[in-house]
Structure 1
Amino acid sequence: MTMDLVAARSVAKAKETGLTAFLWRDRTGEFHRIDRMETRHLFFTLRMIWNNHMPRDARVGDVRLYSFGPYYTPSYFRDAIAAILPELRGRNDIRREWMRQIEQMFAYFNNANRIQSGAPLRVSAAQ
Structure 2
Amino acid sequence: MAGIDVSLKEMMAVDGAIGAAVVDYGSGMALGALGSSKDLDLQVAAAGNTEVVKAKMRTMDSLGLKDAIEDILITLGSQYHIIRPISGRGGKGLFLYLALDRNRGNLALARHQLRGVEEKLEV
State the TM-score bracket (shorter-chain normalisation): under 0.3
Higher-helix-fraction structure: 1
Greater C-alpha Rg: 1
Return the structure number with greater relative CO, CA threshold 8 A, min gap 6.
Answer: 2
TM-score scaled by length of structure 1 = 0.25
Using structure 2 for the length normalisation, give the TM-score: 0.25
